[in-house]
Every structure is written in structure tokens, then in C-alpha cells.
Amino acid sequence: MLETLSAAPAILALLEEQARQLAALRADLQRLDAPRENDGYLDAKGAAKYLGMSATTFDKYRYQSRVKIKGYKVGGKTLYQRKDLDSFVKLFEINSAL
């Protein structure tokens, strides 16, 4: 019986370590299940916010600039993918340097 009592701190430490590992695994699983930032589409307001500009400036770039922002018409609304917005920034930067 004394042997069992002397092993109690080691068993407790093992259980605490296992609980910590389980918590880390749960957190990893939640991150995997969460929607990724690059998934999905943004409306014009969300796209402007993503690019860090006002809605008016965003409208100028999507309608009036030489390099247009690529959009997808869905049910009368134009939606934008983040990858296309990132590409626009790179293309605009290249064309502005010319």
C-alpha cells in the first residue's frame, strides 16, 4: 500500500500531462474546422475593408482603373475572392510602375 501512495505524485503528473496534450489536440482540431480566411467570397464593402480602402476608392478601382478588380456576379450582386484582390494589388503595383 505504501508503494501505491508513493507513486501517486507520478501518476498525477502523468494525468496532468495527458490532459494538457488533449487540450492542445482539441485546439488544433478547432482550428482545422474553422473556416479559413482565404475561403469564401466578399461583397464590395468587405473587399474594400480587406484592401484597407474606402468603399468609394474601391468603386473607382473596380469600375474606372486600367487594371480592374475581378468580380463574380451572383444573383445581381458582385462578389470578390481574396486571392483575386491580392492579384489585383500585385498587378496594379506592376502597371503603376510602368
Supply the pTM of this predicted model: 0.55
* Residue 1 pLDDT grade (very low, low, confident, very high; cuts 50, 70, 90): low
Pull the grid cell for residue 59.
468603386
pLDDT of residue 52: 92
Alpha helices in the chain (DSSP H): 2-33, 44-51, 55-63, 82-97
User: Which tens digit of pLDDT belongs to each residue from 87-97?
Assistant: 888 887 776 66
User: Which tens digit of pLDDT belongs to each residue from 6-60?
Assistant: 778 888 888 899 988 888 878 777 766 555 555 679 999 999 999 999 999 999 8
pLDDT of residue 46: 93
The contacts of residue 83 (CB under 8 Å, 6+ apart) are 38
Task: Classify the C-alpha dihedral 18-20-26-29 as positive or negative.
Answer: negative
